[in-house]
Amino acid sequence: MKEQPTQKQSNIRSWLGVGTLGLTSLVVAIDLFVMLLALPNITTSLHASATQTLWITDAYGFLLAGFLVTMGTLGDRIGRRKVLMIGSAGFALCSILVAIAPNAIMLILARALLGVAGAMIAPAALSLVRHMFSDPRDNARAIGLILSCMIGGSVLGPLVGGLLLNHFWWGSVFLVGIPPMIVALLFGKKLLPEYKNPDAQKLHVPSVVLSLAAIIPFIYGLKELAAYGWRLTSVAAVLIGITFAVLFVRQQKKLADPLVDMSLFKKPVFTILLIAMLINTLLPGGIMVLTTQYLQLVAGLSPLHAGMWMIPGALASIIGFTVSPRLAGKIRPAYLIPAGILCSVLGMVVLLFTSASGSLAPLIIGFTLFNLGAGPLVTLGTGIVIGSVAPQKAGSAAAISQTGNEFGFALGIATVGSIATAVYHSGLKQLPANLSASDAHAIRDSLASAVHTASTLPANVHETVLHTSRSAFVSAYHVAAFISCIAMTVVALVILVKLRNVPALSGESK
C-alpha cells in the first residue's frame, strides 16, 4: 500500500506550491514595469508612431483586465491548476514573441496575447490557495506571500530591466520571465492541487463577449480621460462600457450558471470589502502616479533614481503583507484592517508636508507609511472575499477582486489626475507677463511640459516658471492626498462598524 504523506510533509508541499504561485505572480508584475522602462528604446527601434506607442503600452493591460472574470470562471469550470499551467506556458511563449517582434503591429498583438495569458494566472493563483491549507491564517500568509511577489516584481522590474537595457537589445527584458515560468510548469503539477466545480456547465460565450464589451471600453475611456481630459471619444467609451455593463448584469441574473454570480454581492462582507479594496486602489493609485512625477519633475531625479527611492515603500508593503496574517490570529478584521488604513492615512498626512523645494524626507516617509498600512486590507480582504463564497465560486470571486483592482487603478488615475490637473491650472494664474502664448500654453498643459519649456527660457524667467509650476503641482499633490485621507478614513469607519462580527482568523472571538 502506498504510504500517505504526513501532515508535516503535506504542509511543506503546500508552501512549496505557494512558492510556485509566487513565481508566476512575480513574472507578471516584472513584465508590466520593464515595459515602461524599455518603451523609449522600443519606440526608436521599431519606428513606432505616437498611437502605436500608446497601444504598445496599453494592449497588455486592457486584455488583462478584460479577461480576468472570464479566466477566473473558466478555472472554476475546467480546473484552476489547468488554467494556471496554460497561462504560464502561454505567458512564456508570448514573452518570446514580444522580444523578437519585428515591428510595432506585431508587438501590439503579442502584448495583447500576453495580457490574455496573464489574466489566467492571478485569479487561479489566489483561488488555489483556499484549497491548500486548512488554517485560515496560513491562507492569509500564503496570499500575503503571493502579493509580496507582485510587489517584489515592481521593485525588480526597473532594476533588472535597467541592467539588461545597458548591455542588450530591448527585447532582452521580456525574456527574464521565461525561466521562472518554466520552473512553475515543471513543479506546478506536482505541488499544486487541482480543483474545479463538478456541476459547472460550459462557458457562456455571449457573457464573455458582453463582459469584454463592458470592461475594455470603460478602462480605455478612463485612461484617455486621465491622459487627454474630457474628450468626446473618451466619454463615449466610458458610456459604452457602462451600457454593456448594465446589459451584462441583467443577463447574468437570468442565467442558471452565470459567468458572474450576482448573488455574491448580496453578502455584506463580500461587497463591503470589495468596495473597500476598490477605493484603496483607486485613490492611492492616482497618488502613486503623482509621486513618481514629484520625484522626477520636482526633486529632479532620473527615472532609475526615482525608482530606487520608491523601494522603501515597496519593502514596507511586503512587511505589511507578511505581518498582517500573524496579527489576524489575535485581532478581529474589524479592528486590524482599520488600524492599517489609519496608518495609510497618517502616511497621506505626512505627504502634505512635501514642498516645491523637492525635499524627499516627507515623501519617502509618507509613501512608506501608506504602503505599510495597506497590508491588512489587501491581504485579509482578499482572503475574506474569496473565503466568503462557496468553494466552487472561489475562482470567480478572485477574478472579481482582481478586476476591481484594475478598475480602481484606472479610475484613480483618471479621477485623481483630473482633480490634480484642475488644481495645477488654478495655481498658474500668475505667470511672467513676457511669456509667449505657446510657452504659456505648454506650461499650463502639465508639469513635465512646464519643466521642458522652462529649460528653453532665459535665466531670469527660467527659475520663476519652475518655482511657479512646481508650487502649483505640489498644491495639486496636497489636495489629492487630503481627499484620499478623508475617503480612506470613511472606509475605516465603515469596516469598523460593518465587520465587527467577523471573527479573528483563528476563529476565536476577541
For residues 285 and 344, the answer to whether their CB atoms sit within 8 Å is no
Q: How far apart are CA 47 and CA 274, in angstroms?
A: 42
Q: How far apart are CA 48 and CA 54, in angstroms?
A: 9
Each of the 510 residues of the chain gets a pLDDT tens digit; together they read 444 445 555 577 788 888 888 888 787 777 766 776 677 778 778 887 766 776 777 778 778 877 877 887 788 778 888 888 898 899 899 989 988 988 888 998 998 898 888 888 877 777 787 777 767 778 778 888 887 787 777 777 767 776 777 777 888 888 887 888 888 888 888 888 887 776 666 777 888 888 888 888 887 787 777 666 678 888 898 899 899 989 988 888 888 777 777 777 788 888 888 888 888 777 766 777 788 778 878 888 876 677 778 788 888 888 888 888 888 878 888 899 999 999 999 999 999 999 888 788 999 999 899 889 888 888 888 777 777 777 667 666 777 777 777 667 666 766 777 788 788 888 887 777 777 777 777 777 778 778 878 888 777 787 888 888 888 889 988 998 998 899 889 989 999 988 888 777 664 433
Q: How far apart are CA 389 and CA 409, in angstroms?
A: 25
* Number of CB atoms found within 10 A of residue 479's CB: 18
Give 98-119 as a DSSP string: HHT--SHHHHHHHHHHHHHHHH
Residue 303 C-beta-side C-alpha neighbours within 13 Å = 13
Q: How far apart are CA 309 and CA 306, in angstroms?
A: 5
Q: What are phi and psi of 351, to 5 degrees?
A: -60, -25
Using CA atoms of 171, 177, 181, 184 in order, give the dihedral in degrees to the nearest 10: 170
Q: How far apart are CA 240 and CA 75, in angstroms?
A: 28
* Number of CB atoms found within 10 A of residue 426's CB: 12
Q: What is the DSSP letter of 359?
A: -
Three-state secondary structure call for residue 501: coil
For residues 257 and 200, the answer to whether their CB atoms sit within 8 Å is yes
> In what helix (H) or strand (E) does residue 337 lie, and over which residues does it extend?
helix 333-351
pLDDT at 51: 67
Q: Which of 251, 191, 210, 196 is nearest to 72 (CA)?
A: 196
- The C-alpha cell at 169 is 537589445
pLDDT at 334: 86
**Alpha helices per DSSP H over 329-458:** 333-351, 361-387, 394-426, 437-445, 447-454
Q: Which of 478, 422, 157 is nearest to 298 (CA)?
A: 478
Q: The whole model's pTM is what?
A: 0.74
CB crowding 138-148: b at 16 or more within 10 Å, else e:
bbbbbbbbbbb
For residues 303 and 37, the answer to whether their CB atoms sit within 8 Å is yes
Q: How far apart are CA 46 and CA 59, in angstroms?
A: 17
Residues 6+ apart with CB under 8 A from 230: none
Residue 275 C-beta-side C-alpha neighbours within 13 Å = 14
- The C-alpha cell at 299 is 526633486
pLDDT at 243: 93
pLDDT at 209: 87
Place of cell 483563528: 506
Q: How far apart are CA 267 and CA 279, in angstroms?
A: 19
Q: How far apart are CA 109 and CA 106, in angstroms?
A: 5
Place of cell 481630459: 229
Using CA atoms of 423, 428, 430, 435 in order, give the dihedral in degrees to the nearest 10: -170
Looking at residue 299, its amino acid is A
Q: Which of 190, 194, 185 is nearest to 23 (CA)?
A: 185
